Structure 1
Amino acid sequence: MNGLKVKTHYLVEGCILAQDITSMTNRPIMLKKTVITNDLLEVLRAFLITEVSVEKTLVDGKPYVPKEIIDDEQEGLQQSTSFTSQYLNAVQIYKRLFTNWEAGSPVDITKVREFLIPLLEKALENQKEIFLLHHYSTKEDYFYHHAVSVGLLSGFIGKKLNMDKGDIVQLTLSGCLSDVGMSKISPTVLKKKTSLTYQDFEEIKKHPIFGYRMLQNNPFLKDYAKLAVLQHHERINGTGYPKGLNGKDLHLFSKIIAVADVYHAMTSERVYRKKHSPFKVLEMIMRDDFGKFDVKVLKALTSGLANFTIGNKVKLSNGYLAEIIFIDSHNPTRPLVKVVDTNTIIDLAKQCDIYIDEILI
Structure 2
Amino acid sequence: MRVHPSQLVPGCMVLKDVMGQTNHPIIEKNTVIKPIHITVLHKFLIEEIDVGPKLASGEVFKPEEYIEEEESEEAKNTPVRGITSFADQYLDAVQAYKSMFKNWQAGSSIDISKVRKTIVPLIHEALKDKSQVFMLHHYSTKENYFYHHSIAVGLLSSIIAKQMNFSQGEIIQIGLTGFLSDAGMSKIEERIMKKRGPLTSREFEEVKKHPTYSYRLLEKIPVLKNEVRIGVLQHHERRDGSGYPIGIAEDKLHPYGKIVAVSDMYHAMTSERIYKTKKSPFKVIEEMMQDQFGKFDHKVVQAFIDSMTNFSTGTKVKLSNNQEGEIVFIEAKTPTRPMVRLFHNNEIIHLKNYRDLFIEEIVSNPS
TM-score scaled by structure 1? 0.92
Residue equivalent to 2:253:
250
Q: Taking structure 1 as reference, are residues 8 and 253 closer, same or farther at Cα in structure 2, changes over 3 Å only?
A: same
- Whether 1:139 and 2:151 are equivalent positions in the alignment is no
Segment drifting more, 58-67 vs 254-263? 58-67
Q: Deviations for 1:93-129, whole angstroms, at most 9, x for unmatched residues? A: 1011001101110011111111111111112222111
Displacement of 1:316: 2.6
Residue equivalent to 1:44:
41
Segment drifting more, 55-64 vs 219-228? 55-64
Residue equivalent to 1:298:
301
Give the Cα separation in 2 of the matches to 1:5 and 1:208: 43
> Equivalent residues in 2 for 1:183-198 (5 A)?
183-198=186-201
Residue equivalent to 1:221:
224
Residue equivalent to 1:354:
357
Report if aligned partners of 2:194, 2:274 keep a CA contact under 8 Å in 1. no
Match of 1:58 among 48, 55, 59: 55
Report if aligned partners of 1:195, 1:272 keep a CA contact under 8 Å in 2. yes
> Equivalent residues in 2 for 1:194-213 (5 A)?
194-213=197-216
Displacement of 1:220: 2.6
Displacement of 1:137: 0.9
- Whether 1:335 and 2:338 are equivalent positions in the alignment is yes
Q: Deviations for 1:288-324, whole angstroms, at most 9, x for unmatched residues? A: 4541001111111111223454444433334433333
Give the Cα separation in 2 of the matches to 1:350 and 1:81: 36
Which amino acid letter does the alignment assign opposite residue 110 of structure 1? S
Q: Deviations for 1:155-212, whole angstroms, at most 9, x for unmatched residues? A: 1111111111111111111111001111111222122111111111111111111111
Residue equivalent to 1:181:
184
Q: Which runs of 5+ in 1 are unaligned?
A: none
Residue equivalent to 1:156:
159
Give the Cα separation in 1 of the matches to 2:105 and 2:26: 41
SS of the aligned residue for 1:28 comes to: coil
> Equivalent residues in 2 for 1:241-320 (5 A)?
241-288=244-291, 290-320=293-323
Residue equivalent to 1:323:
326
Q: Which runs of 5+ in 2 are unaligned?
A: none
Give the Cα separation in 2 of the matches to 1:309 and 1:331: 14
> Matched residue pairs, number?
357
Which amino acid letter does the alignment assign opposite residue 107 of structure 1? I
> Equivalent residues in 2 for 1:98-113 (5 A)?
98-113=101-116
Give the Cα separation in 1 of the matches to 2:310 and 2:31: 21
Displacement of 1:44: 1.6
Give the Cα separation in 2 of the matches to 1:170 and 1:348: 38
Which amino acid letter does the alignment assign opposite residue 232 of structure 1? H
Report if aligned partners of 2:292, 2:298 keep a CA contact under 8 Å in 1. no
TM-score scaled by structure 2? 0.91
Query: RMSD across aligned C-alpha pairs, in angstroms?
Result: 2.1
Report if aligned partners of 1:31, 1:360 keep a CA contact under 8 Å in 2. no
Which amino acid letter does the alignment assign opposite residue 330 of structure 1? K
Displacement of 1:230: 0.7
Report if aligned partners of 2:325, 2:343 keep a CA contact under 8 Å in 1. yes
Report if aligned partners of 1:83, 1:122 keep a CA contact under 8 Å in 2. yes
Which amino acid letter does the alignment assign opposite residue 185 of structure 1? I
Residue equivalent to 2:175:
172
Displacement of 1:80: 7.0
Report if aligned partners of 2:59, 2:95 keep a CA contact under 8 Å in 1. no
Give the Cα separation in 1 of the matches to 2:29 and 2:229: 37
Give the Cα separation in 1 of the matches to 2:264 and 2:62: 34
